[in-house]
Structure 1
Amino acid sequence: MKKLIFAGILAATGLTATANAQIQKGNWLVGSSLLTSNFGLNTGGGYSIAIQPKGAYFIEDNVAVGGYVNLGISKVTNGSPTRFDYAVGGLGRYYLSPGEKGVDNLLNHGRWFFEGNVGIGGSSVENGNSTTGLDFGVGPGYSYFITPNIGLEGLVKYQGQAGFGSEGLNSNITFNVGFSIYLPTSKAKDIARDAK
C-alpha cells in the first residue's frame, strides 16, 4: 500500500512539473481553436464554423508570441446569405504561475493564461456587405494538459474588427475550444528534419 501511495505522489508531482516545463523559454506551441460551431436543428436552420490555427514561441518562461490565421463561414438561416470571415496577425500569451496574484489553478494539470491578438482581417457577405481592417481580440483561457505535450483549451475572448466597408466596427464575444501541442525546441527540430 505504501508503494502505491508513493507511486501516486510521484506521478502527480511529475505531471505538475511537466505542465511547468512545457511553457518554458525556448519551447513551441502549435494548435488550433474551434471558434464557433453550431448547426441549426430546426427546419431552415443555419450553421457557423470557424477555425483558428496558431503557433507561438516562448521568448521567456510563461510568455509566448507568434501568429494566427482565422477562417470562418456562417449562415444564419437556410435562406440567408453566406458570410466569410478571415484574418491573419500576431498573438501573445501570458501564463499565470500557480499562486500568482492570488489566482490558484483549479486543476493541478493545467494553467490559466491571457491571450491577445492584433492583425488584419475582415468579413464578406454574399449580399455585398463587407469590412476589412484591424482585427483584434483579448481574453482569458485555461489549458488542461491531458498528456505532457498536449493541452485541451478553453478561451473566452472579445473579438473585434474595425475598418473600411459597409460596417465600420463589428465585435462579439466568443467561447473558443481547442487544443495545443507544446514542443521543446529539440523535438521541433527533429520533426522539421524528419519532414525533409
Structure 2
Amino acid sequence: MKKLILTGILAVAGLATTMNAQIQKGNWMVGSSLISSRFGLNTDAGYDIAIQPKGAYFIKDNVAVGGYVTLGTSKVSKDSGTQFTYAVGGLGRYYLSPGEKGVDNLLNHGRWFFEGNLGIGGQSTKGGTSTTGLDFGVGPGYSYFITPNIGLEGLVKYAGVTGFGNEGLTSNITFNLGFSIYIPTSKAKQVVNDVK
C-alpha cells in the first residue's frame, strides 16, 4: 500500500513539473480552435461555425507568438444569405503562472491564458453586406492538459473586422473550443531528423 501511495505522489509531482515544461522558452504550440458562437435549435434557425488552425513559438517562458488562419461560414436563418469569413494574421499568448497576481488555477492540470490576434480578414454575405480589412480579437482562455503535451482549450474572445465594404465594422463575441499540442524543441528536432 505504501508503494502505491508513493507511486501516486510521484506521478502527480511529475505531471506538475511537466505542465510547466511545455510552456517554456523554445517550445512550439500547434493546434486548432473550432469557433462556434451560435447554433439555432428551431427548424429554420441558423448556425455559425469556423475552424482556426494556429501555431506559435515560445519566445520566453509563458509567452508565445505565432500565426493563425480562419475559415468559416454562417447563416442567420433558412431564408438569409450564407456568410463566409476568412482571415490570416499573427497571434500572441500569455500564460498565467500558478498563483500569479493572486489568481490560482481552477484545476491543477491547466493554465489560464490571454490571447490576442491581429491580421487581415473579411466577411461577405451572398447578395448582402461585406467587410474586408483589419481582423482583430482578444480574450481569456483556459487550457486543460489531458496529457503533459496535449491541452483541451476553451476561449472567449471579442473578435471583429474593420475596413472597407458595405459595413465599416463587424464584431461579435465568440466561444471557441479546441486543442493544442505542445512540442518541446528537442522533440521537434528529432522529428525533423527522422524525416530526413
Quote the Cα distance in structure 1 between the aligned partners of 2:39 and 2:161: 24
Change (3 A) 1:74 1:107: same
Does the CA-based 8 Å contact 1:146-1:152 persist in structure 2? yes
Whichever residue aligns with residue 71 of structure 2, its letter is: L
TM-score (normalised: structure 2): 0.95
- 1:191 corresponds in structure 2 to 191
Aligned length: 196
Counterpart residue identity of residue 76, structure 2: V
Aligned position for 2:137: 137
Consecutive unaligned residues in structure 2, runs of 5 or more: none
Query: Which residue is equivalent to 1:74?
Result: 74
Name the CA distance, whole Å, in 1 between partners of 2:186 and 2:103.
32
- Whole-Å separation in 2 of the counterparts to 1:59 and 1:19: 17
1:141/1:153 contact within 8 Å kept:
yes
Question: Is the Cα contact below 8 Å between 1:34 and 1:52 reproduced in 2?
Answer: yes
Q: How does 1:1-196 map to 2 (within 5 A)?
A: 1-36=1-36, 39-195=39-195
TM-score normalised by length of structure 1: 0.95
Task: Classify the secondary structure of the residue corresponding to 1:146.
Answer: strand
- Would the aligned equivalents of 1:37 and 1:50 in 2 still touch at CA under 8 Å? no
Cα distance in structure 2, aligned partners of 1:185 and 1:55: 14
1:186 CA displacement? 2.0
Distance 1:185 1:17 in 2: 17
8 A Cα contact 2:37 2:174, kept in partner:
no
Distance in 1 between residues matched to 2:193 and 2:168, nearest whole Å: 46
Q: Which runs of 4+ in 1 moved over 6 A?
A: none
Identity of aligned residues (%): 79
Contact 1:29 1:56 in 2 (8 A): yes
Q: Give 5+ residue unaligned stretches, structure 1.
A: none
**Cα offsets for 1:49-101 (capped at 9, x unmatched):** 10110000000000000000011101111221000001100000000111100
